[in-house]
Structure formats: C-alpha cells, structure tokens
Structure 1
C-alpha cells in the first residue's frame, strides 16, 4: 500500500530518520521552524525582504495545478513514456557518496521511475533530483510569480525533486534565497543559519557542504554543535519554507515525495565566503590553495561525491579571480 499524500507513516519517524530527536538527544538546541504570523503572499514578500530567519507558510499553493497534476499516478499517466536520468540505489547513510555520483545514474522511463519510487519493497532510495522543472514538467503549474512578484533581475531557477522514501540532501548551503515547496508526501527540513556556519563544519575542500549528518550528530567530534541553534520541522503538502540565502539545510523524505524549489534574488557574496574561510583556519586555507592550483590553474577534474557537487572552494576562488564570478558553475540560475 502506498503511503497517502500528506500522511507520514509513524513507523518511519524514529530518531534514526528524524533529525529533530537525534539532535535533541545529543544535547543540541533544535527548535521548530517559525511559522509566519501572516500566511499571505504579502507576508511571504515581507519575510523575503527582511531575510533574517527561515519561515514556514501554509495555504499559499491551494490553487496551484501542481497540487493535483504532480501526484505520482498522474505523472505516470501524463509523462510515463518520457526518458529520464535518475539516481538509483542510493546509500542510506554517510555524508558522502561511496562512489562518484555518475555511477548511481540510470536512464529509464518516467513511468518506470514512478513505479520504483512507490515500491515499498525498495531498500535503497531512488531520486529524480535537481531536475530543471521546465525540462520535465510545466513550470506554470507553480505560481511563484504570483507569490513573489515579477521575475527579478538577478535570475531565478525552479527545480523539481521526485523520489522514494529515504532520499536525503545532506546539510549544505545555497547561494540564493530559496522557496522550498512540498507538493506530495512528507519531508523533514532541518536548517542552520549562516551565522552558525562554523558549527556546520564545512568540508575543507568545499565551504558549502557540511560534514555533519544531522540524523547522527557527534558533539564530541564536532563540539561547536552545542553552541548552535537548529530549526527543524516536518513539512506537509502545501507547506512552503522560505530558506534565506546561505542558510544551511538538510532535507530528507519520510514517504515517496514530490517537491519543487525556486531560487531567486542576488547571490551570496564573495566576501562572505572569504570571511568564513578566514574564520575556519589554516587547514582550510591550505586545501583551498591546493585546489586553486590543481582544479583551477591545472584544470584537473573534480570528484562528484557530494550531493550534486559544486566546484571546490579553490576552483571557485580561481574563477572569481579570472572572471569576477565566484559562483561560476554553481549558480543554478546561470
């Protein structure tokens, strides 16, 4: 039996699957994501202008065609013969992929993928992720313009995320403001503000990916976790989470799930990343210098073992000095 949309199977919401309980048991301060006092488009635009905290909104997508048209069975009926490239048989634990991301990619029909994501016998997750919505579905099914106003001059991008129970996008930071919208199924969204970035323990070679598994926090190895405040909530169909740019986020599904996100606004600045790099210390500086040479000057290709790996910090610094764009190759709207 397929889990009904909007209803999380209580058996999956254990400390193993739910970062909220795991963080609390480790002694980490974790609070619900604040819910907006004004659940209206005006309230959303006000939260975006203030950009000081993540906020959950409900009831703003009731008239979106996607709420019905993107149910898995409808997607199978409408797009079942279309070829897609999905990530299959993904690992269920660990922060990095054990092997290069390309080795998990499989080409199959959309209908075959939907059948796989709904198969309750699956022991390993599958994910059609980071898919530009316009290349697969109809972006008009989501009313982001009505929520935010006309498209802004900084560039926007909309991506669709369709997958089985157990999919995980590990703790990471994006360049742009983000509206994350749950269409079908349930997920837990766990957030760490940019101001607490040192407590995210970024990888030495990549400032936007965290070494922390929020479902298995280790405060002995990562003591700064005790000084940080996380925000975490289960999101249901119709919920929108405003995630300010730079805010670290971990998103994992409890049921088969369909989500869409929309990046917008100006990118996180080069100087903010340099300031973080300076605070992180010599090990990070040395690795950045090495990657500047290896992947910038020498052009050596990089492994893709993060979840949709961005370029290394050293390569991004090289791009910034060469082209003036620290986000080259990492800005989804470019």
Structure 2
C-alpha cells in the first residue's frame, strides 16, 4: 500500500532529528499519510471484521498522532473521532453491552512513612488573592491544599480512575509512551510504545516498574480530560521573577503520571508554577528550595534540571554538601493538591498504584 509506505518513509526521516527539532513538514506528512492509510483500512472492513483488525488500525493511527502531534487543520479532531469510535466498538465487543457498567475501585494499601520536616498544610482552601500574592513572592514556598478542592472531579466519582475497568473501557487499545525502568537517570531506562491494556496488565496489576510519565494523555484521549476540571487557581497571572522567567502562553499544561508502587521521579526542577493533584493512591514527595541548588549537584548539559544525587540513598562521600540542603516532605494523599513553586527541586516516589495530574501555569 503506497500510503503505508509513505508513513514508513516519514517515520524514517523523523528519526533523524531530536524530537524538539523535527520539521513540521515531516510531522504533517506523517499525520496525513497515517490518516489516509487508516481510511483505506476502514473502507475495506466488512461484517467479518475482527477485534485484531480494529486494534491494528487503532495502533497505527495512535502512533502517528503521538509521534507527529497531529498537526494540520482538523487532523486532531478527525483522528480523535475515529479513535474514540473504534475504542467504543472494541469495549462493547468485549463487554457484550452498550451500557456503561458500575465501576468498582481497586483496593490498595500504601507504605507508612514517617515525616521529619513536613510541608505546610493549609486548614482551608486559600482565596485567589492570597494565592496570587503568595505566588508573587521572590521565592514562594510549597504547601498542600486540603481535600475538597478537586473531589468533585468525575475522576473521583462517576468515572473513577481508581477503577482499572473504567480506564480500560476508555483507553484499553490506545497506544501510549511508557517509561521502562525505575527512573530516567538509570542506565537501563528506556521508553516503549505499548497498548494501554498491556501497561495495566503487565505493570500496574503486577507492581512491575514502568511509568506513564509527563505525557499529555488528555490531548491524546479527550475522554479522560473530561474527567478533570482545572482549578481556577491555575488562571492567575503571577509576575515574572528571577525563578519564574516565562509563562505558558495562557495555556494550562496538563500531564499525567500513572504507575505502580515504586515509580520514581528523581530530584529535579521545573520552570513553572505547578499544582500537583493526586487522584489515585499516594506519593512521598521531598522538596528543596532553589537557594540550595549548589547542594544538590545538578547534572551538566541537557539534564541540568536534574540532580545527580539518589535522594533516599545519597552517597555522601561523592556528594558531601547534600547533607546541608534543607528540605520539606509530605505524603500526598488522594484528593489533595500540592503547590510546587518554580525551580523548587522535587523528588517523587509512589507508595502504591498512583495516578497524578500536574497542572503547570
């Protein structure tokens, strides 16, 4: 098939670039050839269509969308329409019904953690004026908002993300990028495109380390985006400072963090204000002020926002000044939000199956 050959040709050319430098013409050609290929495949289906055939179509189109970013007029809209219809068909084939079932939450148990320097917990949600004033400090500090700010999200109620059955009904056959390995600083770390159901079955349910990390799954799967409601706090406009040097162009950058017990984000810093919403499970988080940057031994080059130190097992012989870095820590529970200011170093470890949403603004 010529369209499939063109898709392969585009992929070969895209692989020659770093992902941030791929020319838009290759991305658009990949998206268009992928759509043409899928439309040809759909046109050839008849009443004898099998689940495997439909899964292959979903896999091909999803991969094109993830790699290309779905550029071009209406390309994302068309792709989402096709992918949502095909996923619904597959889900109904497996369930034998078109009715939405009742979803049961998966039972979990977390590891108890003793905190030495706990992060401030507010007794009630802050006012917007207080929050803006706090964010406008030269060096704002982290704090935890109490439960109640996000508990009205569908992700907690009618569409519970703690139900693997629900997540599979929405995304079982979708292709997502998964990090394989404990943390991205390890030598054996890598990324793999895999079916969401395989990620659930082989990693989430078996506590085998893999991480769907810092992926805008909401852009890829809009049905999941409908399960969250961005808090109004994200729409304030903090002033630019020495630590907060650029805005997100009036967009809220949403990323998913989904993985089993034991997934780790090594000590690193980000350039934006961040509300980290904990939807499923709990996480241990340690934060270090940017004034202590010299004590955390940042890496050189492209990973200069990541520390060289293994936070919970530091080698003080190699990194002696790490002992001088003051820190705060917390266990972030379901329904809570942690405010992480710009450039604050933070280390994150899942204490059980965990699904978080980071909201950068």
TM bucket normalised to smaller? 0.5 to 0.7
For residue 8 of structure 1, the aligned residue among 107, 110, 119 is: 110
Query: 8 Å contact 2:268–2:305 — kept in the other structure?
Result: yes
TM-score (norm 1): 0.64
CA drift at 1:41: 5.1
Q: 1:58, 1:239 within 8 Å by CA — same for their partners in 2?
A: yes
Instruction: Give the conservation status (yes or no) of the 8 Å contact 1:36–1:57.
Output: yes
C-alpha contact (below 8 Å) 2:182/2:263 kept by paired residues: no
Change over 3 Å in CA distance of 1:141–1:40 after alignment to 2? farther
Instruction: Tell me whether 1:261 sits opposite 2:358 in the alignment.
Output: yes
Relative CO higher for 1 or 2, CA cutoff 8 Å, sep ≥ 6? 1
Deviations 1:49-69 (Å, cap 9, x if unpaired)?
345101111221111112232
In the TM superposition, residue 221 of structure 1 has moved relative to its aligned partner by 2.3
Query: Partner residue of 1:75?
Result: 167
Q: Distance in 2 between matches of 1:198 and 1:4?
A: 42
**Residue 130 of structure 1 corresponds to which residue in structure 2?**
214
Q: Is the 8 A contact 1:182 1:258 kept in 2?
A: yes
Which one of 185, 199, 204 corresponds to residue 300 of structure 2?
A: 204
Report what 2:29 is aligned to: none
Question: 8 Å contact 1:45–1:148 — kept in the other structure?
Answer: no
1:39 aligns with 2:142: no
Change (3 A) 1:175 1:169: same
Secondary structure, counterpart of 1:195 in structure 2 = helix
Q: Distance in 2 between matches of 1:112 and 1:188?
A: 26
Aligned partner (choices 153, 168, 186) of residue 64 of structure 1: 153
Whether the 8 Å contact between 2:182 and 2:189 is mirrored in structure 1 is no
- Equivalent in the alignment of 1:161: 257
Maintained 8 Å contact 1:44/1:57: no
Task: Give the secondary structure class of the aligned counterpart of 1:179.
Answer: strand
- Paired residue for 2:176, among 81, 84, 90? 84
- Alpha-carbon distance in structure 1 between the residues aligned to 2:188 and 2:135: 38
Counterpart Cα distance in 2 of 1:165 and 1:41: 34
1:168-207 residue pairs with structure 2 within 5 A?
168-205=264-301, 206-207=303-304
Secondary structure of the equivalent of 2:200? helix
Q: How far apart in 1 are the matches of 2:209 and 2:187? A: 15
- 1:54 paired residue number: 142
Residue 182 of structure 1 aligns to a residue whose secondary structure is: strand
Counterpart secondary structure, 1:141: coil
> 2:39 — aligned with what?
none
Give the aligned partner of residue 318 of structure 2.
Answer: 221
1:114 to 172, 181, 200: 200
RMSD: 2.6
Name the structure 1 match of 2:74: none
Is 2:182–2:210's contact at 8 Å kept on the other side of the alignment? no
In 2: Cα distance, 1:196 partner to 1:134 partner: 35
- Which stretch of structure 1 is more off in the superposition, 152-161 or 55-64? 152-161
State yes or no: 1:139 paired with 2:242: no
SS in structure 2 of the partner of residue 210 of structure 1: coil
> Unaligned stretches of 5+ in structure 2?
1-104, 238-247
Structure with bigger gyration radius:
2
| Secondary structure of the structure 2 residue equivalent to 1:208 | coil
Distance 2:170 2:252 in 1: 26
Q: Which segments of 5 or more consecutive residues in structure 1 lack a partner in the other structure? A: 21-29, 265-334
Residue 119 of structure 1, CA deviation: 2.3
CA apart distance, 1:227: 2.2
Q: State how far apart, in whole Å, the 2-side matches of 1:193 and 1:210 are.
A: 13
Once the two structures are overlaid, the 10-residue window that deviates more, 44-53 or 159-168, is 44-53
Match of 2:24 in 1: none
Displacement of 1:35 after TM fit? 1.2
Cα distance in 2 for partners of 1:226, 1:3 equals: 39
Against the structure 1 CA distance between its residues 47 and 143, is the aligned structure 2 distance closer, same or farther, given a 3 Å change threshold?
A: farther
- Residue 195 (structure 2) pairs with residue 105 (structure 1): no
Instruction: Count matched residues.
Output: 238
